[in-house]
């Protein structure tokens, strides 16, 4: 439950903000109000362990090493 003093102070501070900042506060408050973790518990995913063929895993590993482990020093 929201403390009345805190609620009044929040309203007071929001009233001082421009529209864009008020929208950001609203978005932030909505994000805070989201309850519960997102995703699926790991225990529910254990049944999938070992279902990817070894050859596919090797291909994925190779693709990651080929495409993700290179640094372009002139990029920036």
pTM: 0.43
Tell me the residue range of the domain where 16 lies.
1-35
Model confidence over 21-39: pLDDT tens digits? 999 999 999 988 887 677 8
Position with higher pLDDT, 35 vs 54 = 54
DSSP result, the chain:
---HHHHHHHHHHHHTS-HHHHHHHHHHHHHHH--S--S--HHHHGGGTT-S-HHHHHHHHHHHHHHHS---TT--
Whether residue 1 is contained in a domain is answered as yes
Q: Any idea which residue has 């990029």 for tokens?
A: 75
Whether residue 47 is contained in a domain is answered as no
Whether residue 70 is contained in a domain is answered as no
Whether residue 2 is contained in a domain is answered as yes
**Overall domain count for the chain:** 1
């Amino acid at each position: 439950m929201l403390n009345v003093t805190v609620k009044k102070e929040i309203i007071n501070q929001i009233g001082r903000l421009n529209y864009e900042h008020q929208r950001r506060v609203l978005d932030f408050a909505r994000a805070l109000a989201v309850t519960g973790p997102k995703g699926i518990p790991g225990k529910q995913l254990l049944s999938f362990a070992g279902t990817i063929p070894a050859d596919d895993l090797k291909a994925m590993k190779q693709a990651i090493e080929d495409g993700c482990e290179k640094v372009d020093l002139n990029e920036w």
